[in-house]
DNA sequence: TATTGTTATACTCTATAACTATA
DNA sequence: TATAGTTATAGAGTATAACAATA
């Protein structure tokens, strides 16, 4: 007798994806207007959120992107004059990345519209429920690793 | 004076993605063992969840994939003997897709391990909180479209 | 003419490995 | 030898358009 799978609608990854898709549907057209992919925007935001320049590996971690992806994205953003690199004096391998004036201006141009759409969502969904949702999502993201699960049965 | 963006940690898409990444980290190795991408697994699950065969467009809708992606995925799954196609008698354009015996067997082989990992997450996160999370995610996915937002300011 | 599904195309991201240049 | 970042490569998904077969 086989174990049944939960119903498809009770798949946690699917539920998370559906919700994310719904939210992104509000933001994608705005990003498209500025020729930005989601990942490029995540990178710009990560840079906008920090005072001090940050290194490539740090960007990868904060944006949930892989090193090579960040590398390519930075190449693109640099060619558009949106970011700047500075080699770290004490370690020539490292690069300190920051928004250029143009990049900061772009983020600031997008911000009001982005915030307005976010406010729409918050208003329709409810401020309290949104706060509760953030709480649950943060806690879910922080649950601990299962200790040592074998990759194959033997 | 520019509008500031919310802090990066209060980006709803990011919070949803972080949570989803955390959950998928539990399931990806299992899928990899069976040479299945997330999207292929979504497709198999959608098929496993239904009694009657379903059409390509229906699969696309239920799995949140695009038509061309589903087309390619079905081609792959068919070449592995996991699904079957039957042309709909009343409309030769349509194809009715279903799991083959082999496909059903694969889903049933994966199901116990998948359920076990899900149970781990539920146990660590809390049954009640998980139920609350589903409720909020479902509601978020269903908030209504903003009526008519212009794509460019003029 | 409209619709279902496939094919074509261009782009992007994922994932891993190999490589360069530092350290 | 190890590390930071880039480049190379293969594979897959996204998105849109064009297309064939059928309605």
The answer, yes or no, to whether residue A142 has pLDDT greater than 50, is yes
pLDDT of residue A68: 94
DSSP-derived 3-state class of residue A134: helix
Reported residue count of chain A is 154
The answer, yes or no, to whether residue B10 has pLDDT greater than 90, is no
Which residue did the predictor score with more confidence, A63 or A29? Answer: A63
What pLDDT, in 10s, does the model give residues A73-96? 999 999 999 999 999 999 999 999
Which residue did the predictor score with more confidence, A149 or A49? Answer: A49
CB pair distance less than 8 Å for A5 and B111? yes
pLDDT of residue A3: 67
**Range A134-143 average pLDDT:** 93
Q: How far does the CA of residue A92 sit from the closest CA of chain B (Å)?
A: 29
The answer, yes or no, to whether residue A22 has pLDDT greater than 60, is yes
- For B146, name the nearest residue in chain A, comparing CA atoms only: A120
Q: How far does the CA of residue B148 sit from the closest CA of chain A (Å)?
A: 11
CB pair distance less than 8 Å for A17 and B20? yes
Contacts of residue B125 in chain A, CB cutoff 8 Å? Answer: 139-140, 143
Give nearest nucleotide to A55 (CA–C1'). Answer: D4
CB pair distance less than 8 Å for A137 and B18? yes
The answer, yes or no, to whether residue B146 has pLDDT greater than 70, is no
Residue B33: HSE in the Cβ half-sphere, 13 Å Cα cutoff: 15
pLDDT of residue B151: 44
Q: Name the band, by pLDDT with cuts 50, 70 and 90, for residue A72.
A: very high
**What's CA B58's distance to the chain center, in Å?**
13
pLDDT of residue A154: 29
Which residue did the predictor score with more confidence, B147 or B55? Answer: B55
CA distance A3 to B26: 18
Question: Is the CB atom of residue A93 positioned under 7 angstroms from any atom of strand C?
Answer: yes
**Range A98-107 average pLDDT:** 94
pLDDT of residue A2: 57
How deeply is A140 buried, as exposed, middle or buried, from its count of CB atoms within 10 A (0-12, 13-18, 19+)?
A: buried
Contacts of B50 (CB under 8 A, 6+ apart): none
pLDDT of residue B91: 93
What pLDDT, in 10s, does the model give residues B24-83? 888 888 888 888 989 999 999 999 999 899 999 999 999 989 999 999 999 999 999 999
pLDDT of residue B8: 79
Q: Name the band, by pLDDT with cuts 50, 70 and 90, for residue A131.
A: very high
pLDDT of residue B29: 84
Question: Is the CB atom of residue B74 positioned under 7 angstroms from any atom of strand C?
Answer: yes
What does the mean pLDDT of chain A come to? 88
Query: Are B99 and B44 spatial neighbours (Cβ–Cβ below 8 Å)?
Result: yes
């Amino acid at each position: 007798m086989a174990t049944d799978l939960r119903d498809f609608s009770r798949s946690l990854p699917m539920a998370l994806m559906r919700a994310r898709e719904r939210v992104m549907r509000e933001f994608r057209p705005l990003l498209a207007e500025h020729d930005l992919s989601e990942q490029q925007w995540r990178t710009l935001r990560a840079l906008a959120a920090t005072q001090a320049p940050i290194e490539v590996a740090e960007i990868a971690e904060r944006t949930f992107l892989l090193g090579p992806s960040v590398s390519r994205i930075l190449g693109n953003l640099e060619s558009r004059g949106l970011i700047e690199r500075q080699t770290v004096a004490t370690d020539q391998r490292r690069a300190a990345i920051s928004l250029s004036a143009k990049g900061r201006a772009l983020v600031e141009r997008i911000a009001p519209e982005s915030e307005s759409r976010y406010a729409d969502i918050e208003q329709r969904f409810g401020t309290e429920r949104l706060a509760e949702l953030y709480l649950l999502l943060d806690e879910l993201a922080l649950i601990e690793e299962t200790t040592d699960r074998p990759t194959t049965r033997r």
